[in-house]
Structure 1
C-alpha cells in the first residue's frame, strides 16, 4: 500500500505536501478494511466531517501494516516463545532472523526501520487530525470527541511500542509545517514518553464510547484506552492505579461454553465476540486489506497442506516464521485445550508422514483471496484484563486462595485445567510466577511475551537460558555471538538513518 506523506529525517513529516491517504467509509461492517481513495493537499482536504473521518480512519492504516509484520517479529520472535525455520535457499529475509538471534545492529533498517518508520507514520497522521479537527464545520460534538479520542489512543499505542522497544524516542506531538524545522529536539526520556502516553489515554478513555454499532466495529473504545493505560501503569509498578483502571473495564466477558470456546475468540466469523476489547481489523476479500499470518507462520516446506490454498503449492522464505520453540511447547500442561488451537507440533505430508516442524495455528481459518485472510489480530482481550487484575492484587498483597486466584482460575477452567491453589502458589513470588506463566500460554503469539519479560525483570535471565537451548538444538545454523543477551540488548538500536539525519543518540549495545 502506498504511503505518500513526505518524511523528513525519518522523524517528522512535511505537511506542506501532505497527502491524504485516508479511507472512505462504505457499507461494510468492518469500516477499517478500506484502502485510501484519494491524494489531496492538506489545506484543501480538511474541510468536511467526511474528510476528517477519512483522516481518522487513515491513522489506523500503519497499525494494520505493523501488526501484519513488525509487531510479531519484535514482540514474539524476540522472546522465548518463537524462533524461525531456517531456509537455506533464500536468505533475503535474514534481518528477521538476526532479531531472533539478538544480532541486530543499527544498519538493519529493513527490520527496525519498518517498526520505527511505521510508528512515526501513524503518529504523524494522528497529529494531523488533532491539528485540523477544530477547522471542521458541521461536525457534531460527540463525533469530534470520538475522533479525538481515537487518534489519541492510536498515538499512545504507537508510542507505547516505540518506548518499550527503543527506550526514549523523539516526542512529536505536532506536524511539521516548515522543512527547516524537520529535525526533532532529540530523544525524550522514557518518563516523558510515558507521561505523554498517559495523558493521551486519560483523554481517550473519557472521550471514547464503550461500544459502537456494527458499521463502526473495530474503532478504539474507552475499554481499549483503559486497557492500554493499565499496561503503562503496570510497567511503572503503579499497581494500585492500574487496578483501579482495570476494574473500570466493563461490558466484556470470556467466551465460554464448549471445548472450542478459546478457538471461537479468534474465528473471523465471530469478530464481535464479548472477549475482544480491541483488534486490528482485516478483510481478506479486498485486495491489500487482508492479513496473512497463516501464510507467514506456515512451515516453508508444507506446500499448501497447512494453508489449504491451491495456488500456494510452494512456500519459501516468506513462510516458516514465528515458529514455536521447544520451550514453548513444553510450557503447556497436559490436557490444556489451548495448545492444539494455538499451535501444532508438525504436519502430515502428502505421503502420510509426520513432519516434525512446529507452527502457529491460532490464525488458521482459511483464506478469502489467495494469500489473504480476514482473520483479525486480537490486540487486547478480556482474558488479559483478568490476568492483569490478578497480578495487581498479588503485588498489593498476597492472599491465599483470594480473589486473584479466582481470576486466574477463570482462565484455567476454560482451558480444561485444574484450579491454581496454594499448593501451586503458596506465596507472593510463586503466585507472580504462576500469573506470568498463565499469560504466556493464554496470550501466546498475540505479541505480549516480550513486553511481559521486560516488565517482569527476567528478560536477560530467560533469554540467555533460551539461547543456550537454541544453540544446542540448532548449533549448525546459529551464528557466533547469538543470544548473548545483556541489559543493553533489551533495547533495539535506533535505525542508523535516524541517528545520522536527525542527530539522535544511539542506544549502547
Structure 2
C-alpha cells in the first residue's frame, strides 16, 4: 500500500502534458492522435468529473521546480563548477540577452502559467463535486501560478501579467510588461486565496500536494524579497501557528544532514519539517544530485567555496575572525579547518573521516575507501576531483553516488526552518526583534545541532551586527538549497558576486598533489583563486535581460536598464 501512496504522490508532480493528455483520453473510441492537446480541450465533455479535474491539476504540477532549485545555488557564491555554463556566466556577470537559460526560464514559466490559467477558466464547469474539493484544486493551481510568477519577477522584474489563456493572434500576446510591483501584489493576493482554499494536510495517498502552509510560507518568502516585512512576518507567524510543522530531529545529532538523505524523505514518515518538496521515485522519475556532488570519475558539479566555509561560526558562537577557538596561523593541515566549528559545517561540507562515495581521494597513503581523508585534484578517473578543495555531503546519499541518475531523494523547495528564519529577519528589519524572537526561531535551529545560541547581548559585546548575523544564519542553514542568489539580490549585495571565487589554502595540498594545482593562482593569504574576472554592475545585474527571442517576438516588451 505504501508503494501505491508514493507512486500517487510522485505522479502528482511529474505528469507532463503528454501524460495528462493520455489519461484524459483513456477509454475514448476516437484515436487520441486525432485529438488536440489538453490546453486546447475546452468542451464540456472533459470538465465534468473530479477525476478529470485532478488530472488537469496534476498537469500543472509538472511545472513545479525540482532539482533545478539546487542547481541555482551555482548562481551565487556558495558553490561553483568551473567549466563554463549558463549559471556560471550569470554568476560572473559575463553574459548577454542571447544566453539560452534566460529564454528557457521565461518560456517554461509561461508555459506553466498558461496551463494554470486554462484550468482556472474551466474547472467550475464540473458538476456534483464537493466545494471543499473544488476549492482545494483551485488553491493548488493558484499557488502554482503564483510560484511561477515569483521566479519570473525575481529574474526579470517587470513581466507580462497574464491571467487568461492566450492564443496566437490575441492582442495581449504582443502587449507590454506589467510593473513588477503590480505583479508582486498579484502573487501575494493569489497566495492569500490559495491559503484560504487549501487544507492544512492530506492523508498519505496525497503526500506531496500543496498545503495551506505552503501558500503562507511562500508568501513570507515573496514578501521578504519585495521588502514587505510586516506581510512576511505575519505570513511566517501564520505558518508557525498552524502547529503542523516542526524541525526534523529523528537523526539525533546528525538530524540536519539526515533530513536531506533518503531517511528524511516525506514518504519515510518522520519528516514534519518540509513544507513543499518535489518528490522522486525509482522507475518513475529520478535525478542525479548525489552523484553530481561526489562523482567518482570526474570533477564535482557542486564545489563548496572558501567563502561558504568561512561563514560558519566557531562553537562558541563567534566568527572565525574573532573566536579564540580558530587560529588560522596555527593550522597545519586540511582537517584543522573543520575543528571547533558549527556542527552544520561538517553536516554540509565533507570533513575528513566522513563517509563518501567518491572512491579514490587525495590521500596517497590510504587505499581508496568509503572514508574521505583529503581532497583530490588530479583527474585520473579514479576518484572525485574538486576545484576548491571541498565537497558537499548535504544532499548526498552515498549509495546513489555509484549509479547514474538513480537518486530518488526529495528536493526540498521550502521547509519550516526557512519560515523561522523569515520571521526573525522580518522582525529585525522592522526594528522589532527581541531575544524571545531569536529563541523561538534561530535558536531552535541551533539547538538541533547543539550549537551556541544567538544572544543579542553577546552580539553587542562582540561588536557584531545583528542583521548581518541573521543573514549569516540564513546562509548556513539554507546552503545548497538554491536561495543564496535571491538573498544577495534582495539584500542589494551584488558586489559579492564580483569577488574572486576562492578555494582552500594551497599550502594544505600535499606535496605529491601540488603539481596538479601549480598553475592555480593564490591570493595574499595563500587561498587558491578558482574563478576571477567577475563583475556585477549596479543596478544592471540585479535583473536578467529580457531574452532576445522574446523581444524579437514582441518588441513591446522592451529591455531592462543596462541591457539595451
Normalising by the residue count of structure 1, what TM-score does the alignment of the two structures yield? 0.81
Instruction: Please list the CA deviations of residues 449-476 of structure 1 after superposition, one character each: whole Å capped at 9, or x if unmatched.
Output: 112122222x223223355999857999
Counting matched residue pairs gives 455
Aligned: 1:79 with 2:76: yes
Among 78, 81, 85, the alignment partner of 1:94 is 85
Among 401, 404, 415, the alignment partner of 2:438 is 404
Question: Residues 307 and 502 of structure 2 are in contact (CA less than 8 Å); yes or no, is this contact kept in structure 1?
Answer: no
2:309 matched to which residue of 1? 329
Q: Distance in 2 between matches of 1:468 and 1:262?
A: 26
2:476 matched to which residue of 1? 441
Q: Within 5 Å, which residues of 2 pair with 1:82-161?
A: 82-86=79-83, 94-109=85-100, 111-161=101-151
In the TM superposition, what is the alpha-carbon distance from 1:424 to its structure 2 partner? 4.3
Unaligned ranges ≥5, structure 1: 1-23, 87-92, 304-314
1:430 matched to which residue of 2? 465
In the TM superposition, what is the alpha-carbon distance from 1:401 to its structure 2 partner? 3.0
In the TM superposition, what is the alpha-carbon distance from 1:423 to its structure 2 partner? 4.6
In the TM superposition, what is the alpha-carbon distance from 1:244 to its structure 2 partner? 1.9
In structure 2, relative to structure 1, the CA distance for the partners of 1:154 and 1:180 (3 Å cut) is closer
Instruction: Please list the CA deviations of residues 32-62 of structure 1 after superposition, one character each: whole Å capped at 9, or x if unmatched.
Output: 2554153553135434321221111111112
2:325 matched to which residue of 1? none
2:163 matched to which residue of 1? 173
1:68 matched to which residue of 2? 67
In structure 2, relative to structure 1, the CA distance for the partners of 1:408 and 1:477 (3 Å cut) is closer
In the TM superposition, what is the alpha-carbon distance from 1:292 to its structure 2 partner? 2.0
In the TM superposition, what is the alpha-carbon distance from 1:195 to its structure 2 partner? 1.3
Q: Within 5 Å, which residues of 2 pair with 1:200-215?
A: 200-215=190-205
Q: Distance in 1 between matches of 2:453 and 2:6?
A: 47
Question: Residues 31 and 218 of structure 1 are in contact (CA less than 8 Å); yes or no, is this contact kept in structure 2?
Answer: no
- RMSD between superposed Cα atoms in Å: 3.0
Question: Residues 85 and 320 of structure 1 are in contact (CA less than 8 Å); yes or no, is this contact kept in structure 2?
Answer: no
In structure 2, relative to structure 1, the CA distance for the partners of 1:48 and 1:223 (3 Å cut) is same
In structure 2, relative to structure 1, the CA distance for the partners of 1:178 and 1:99 (3 Å cut) is closer
In structure 2, relative to structure 1, the CA distance for the partners of 1:34 and 1:448 (3 Å cut) is closer
Question: Residues 25 and 31 of structure 1 are in contact (CA less than 8 Å); yes or no, is this contact kept in structure 2?
Answer: no
1:384 matched to which residue of 2? 418
Q: Distance in 2 between matches of 1:29 and 1:133?
A: 21
In the TM superposition, what is the alpha-carbon distance from 1:267 to its structure 2 partner? 2.8
Among 482, 491, 499, the alignment partner of 2:543 is 491
Normalising by the residue count of structure 2, what TM-score does the alignment of the two structures yield? 0.74
Instruction: Please list the CA deviations of residues 153-208 of structure 1 after superposition, one character each: whole Å capped at 9, or x if unmatched.
Output: 01111111111111111111111245454624221111111011011101000000
Question: Residues 291 and 376 of structure 1 are in contact (CA less than 8 Å); yes or no, is this contact kept in structure 2?
Answer: no
Q: Within 5 Å, which residues of 2 pair with 1:358-373?
A: 358-365=390-397, 366-367=399-400, 370-373=404-407
In the TM superposition, what is the alpha-carbon distance from 1:76 to its structure 2 partner? 1.7
In structure 2, relative to structure 1, the CA distance for the partners of 1:283 and 1:434 (3 Å cut) is same
Question: Residues 224 and 278 of structure 1 are in contact (CA less than 8 Å); yes or no, is this contact kept in structure 2?
Answer: yes
Aligned-partner SS, 1:242: helix
In the TM superposition, what is the alpha-carbon distance from 1:397 to its structure 2 partner? 2.8
Aligned-partner SS, 2:173: coil
In the TM superposition, what is the alpha-carbon distance from 1:489 to its structure 2 partner? 0.9
2:21 matched to which residue of 1? 38
In structure 2, relative to structure 1, the CA distance for the partners of 1:112 and 1:129 (3 Å cut) is same
In structure 2, relative to structure 1, the CA distance for the partners of 1:76 and 1:448 (3 Å cut) is same
1:277 matched to which residue of 2? 275
In the TM superposition, what is the alpha-carbon distance from 1:321 to its structure 2 partner? 2.6
Q: Within 5 Å, which residues of 2 pair with 1:188-227?
A: 188-227=178-217
Aligned-partner SS, 1:359: coil
In structure 2, relative to structure 1, the CA distance for the partners of 1:471 and 1:223 (3 Å cut) is farther
Question: Residues 246 and 272 of structure 2 are in contact (CA less than 8 Å); yes or no, is this contact kept in structure 1?
Answer: yes
More displaced stretch, 390-399 vs 38-47: 38-47
In structure 2, relative to structure 1, the CA distance for the partners of 1:193 and 1:400 (3 Å cut) is closer
**Structure having the higher Rg:** 2
Q: Distance in 1 between matches of 2:346 and 2:128?
A: 52
Q: Distance in 2 between matches of 1:336 and 1:282?
A: 31
Aligned: 1:501 with 2:553: yes
